[in-house]
Structure 1
Amino acid sequence: MYNIMFALSGAGQSGEGGNPFMMFVPIILIFVVFYFILIRPQQKKQKAHQALLSQLKKGDKVVTNGGLYGTVSDAKDHVVVLKIAENVKVEVVKSAVATVIEKKE
């Protein structure tokens, strides 16, 4: 019985000496799939958000990441001044603006 096991185990080793590059193909495929499923959509989303921030202007109604609703009263390079109530203005970093609710035409 042991002779049969040794004979069968030796038959499976005849495939050695293949292309070593073939070992890396599955790993490369996994990275490609991760790129198109995770990284690429995130980059598109980030570009869209940057475009949204660059188009902010006075009168736009926005929501910040902290949940503040306000109207843009001034937009500078990196800072946006939001009017959140009568006589209440708050300066926030432009990147803190999450979405634009209503654009002023």
Structure 2
Amino acid sequence: MELFSQLLPFIFLIAIMYFVIIRPQQKEAKARKDMIASLKKGDRIITGGGLIVEIKKVEEKFLIVAIDKENTAKLVKDSVSRKYEDEV
């Protein structure tokens, strides 16, 4: 009984850390993964560097994006910050 009463504060601390720190990070990571998986041609995105570009082609690990009418670039999917429509 004494051992249980000594361990109880640690159990509460671990539970609080899970619900305050770990679980929200897991939900955010899952939402980001789902957003990247749902990208399609014509979507406008904001890159990690702050560029607003339009997707021209979706490949397995890369995106072909149009910076303007004449310039295109190959972008790693992990460098996408968010969709531009989400900001407007």
Which residues in structure 2 correspond to 1:22-101 (within 5 Å)? Answer: 22-101=5-84
**Percent same amino acid at aligned positions?**
31
CA root-mean-square deviation: 1.4
SS of corresponding position for 1:58: coil
| Pairwise CA distance, 1:85 | 1.1
Instruction: Provide TM-score, normalisation by structure 1.
Output: 0.76
In structure 2, list runs of 5 or more residues that go unmatched.
none
Report the more deviating stretch, 35-44 or 85-94: 85-94
Amino acid at match of 1:73: K
In structure 1, list runs of 5 or more residues that go unmatched.
1-17
Distance 2:75 2:15 in 1: 38
Amino acid at match of 1:97: V
| Pairwise CA distance, 1:67 | 0.7
**Higher normalized helix content (fraction of residues):** 1
Runs of 4+ in 1 over 6 A off after TM superposition: none
